[in-house]
């Protein structure tokens, strides 16, 4: 297992959302840390079974996605990007002053627009602390889905939420980010396999 912790990340990107099946633009960005690049690159290699990795997301302080055992209710992610957005204006005294609410979005996620997402997340006030948010990258080995890697964000704040006909888009601010890699099955080492329903309770990194 390899772990990278980056406090107060300064590598935030300002880019358009990337489809889950095509991370080319993300990988080409020179400012993206090697750890994040590796997660995306490895997850995109799916043994020729599926063209794209599956990505699931859990949000700590929202019922139904709060515990590892309830991963079956985790939110499917269509695409994501890291970005930094701040809205401010210069005051008469030369100091920066907020124009309305200051919006800071470090992670932007696109997910299905369905009743579950709307009722579970839209009710949360913007700016509320929603705890930790985790992205799980699943890789198919034969008929078994496996956690290939995950990105954990701490102390997240919901900065924006909006939807259109088919997708919902959420923005989160966060304090720290941690990337964890799990051994893959073809090494002969026990790894983080997930069963039907994506129950993560038995998924532990090999030390």
Would the CA dihedral through 34, 37, 43, 48 be positive or negative? negative
Residue 80 pLDDT exceeds 80:
no
Token pair listed for 87: 């809205």
Choose among 128, 150, 141: nearest CA to 55.
150
User: pTM to 2 decimals?
Assistant: 0.59
Residue 103 class from Cβ within 10 Å (0-12 exposed, 13-18 middle, 19+ buried)?
middle
Supply the pLDDT for residue 118. Answer: 66
Mean pLDDT confidence for 198-205: 38
**Are the C-beta atoms of 161 and 121 separated by less than 8 Å?**
yes
Residues 153-181 have pLDDT tens digits of 888 888 888 777 777 888 888 877 777 76
Looking at mean pLDDT, say which of 15-24, 40-49, 131-140 comes out highest. 131-140
Residues 187-197 have pLDDT tens digits of 434 344 443 33
On average, the pLDDT of the chain sits at 58
Supply the pLDDT for residue 110. Answer: 79
Report the topology of domain 3-202: Pnp Oxidase; Chain A (2.30.110)
Residues 41-50 have pLDDT tens digits of 554 444 444 4
- C-alpha distances in Å from residue 192, one per residue of 48, 196, 203, 206: 20, 13, 4, 8
């Amino acid at each position: 297992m390899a772990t990278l912790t980056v406090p107060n990340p300064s590598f935030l990107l300002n880019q358009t959302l990337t489809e889950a099946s095509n991370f080319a633009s993300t990988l080409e960005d020179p400012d993206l840390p090697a750890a994040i690049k590796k997660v995306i690159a490895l997850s995109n290699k799916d043994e020729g079974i599926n063209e794209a990795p599956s990505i699931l997301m859990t949000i700590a302080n929202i019922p139904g996605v709060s515990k590892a055992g309830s991963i079956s209710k985790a939110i499917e992610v269509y695409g994501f990007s890291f970005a930094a957005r701040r809205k401010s204006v210069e005051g008469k005294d030369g100091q920066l002053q907020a124009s309305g609410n200051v919006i800071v979005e470090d992670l932007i996620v696109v997910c299905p627009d369905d009743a579950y997402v709307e009722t579970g997340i839209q009710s949360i006030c913007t700016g509320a602390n929603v705890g930790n948010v985790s992205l799980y990258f699943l890789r198919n080995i034969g008929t078994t889905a496996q956690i290939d890697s995950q990105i954990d964000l701490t102390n997240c704040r919901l900065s924006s939420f909006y939807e259109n006909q088919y997708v919902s888009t959420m923005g989160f601010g966060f304090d720290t980010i941690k990337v964890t890699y799990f051994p893959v099955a073809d090494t002969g080492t026990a790894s983080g396999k997930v069963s039907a329903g994506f129950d993560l309770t038995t998924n532990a990194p090999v030390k």
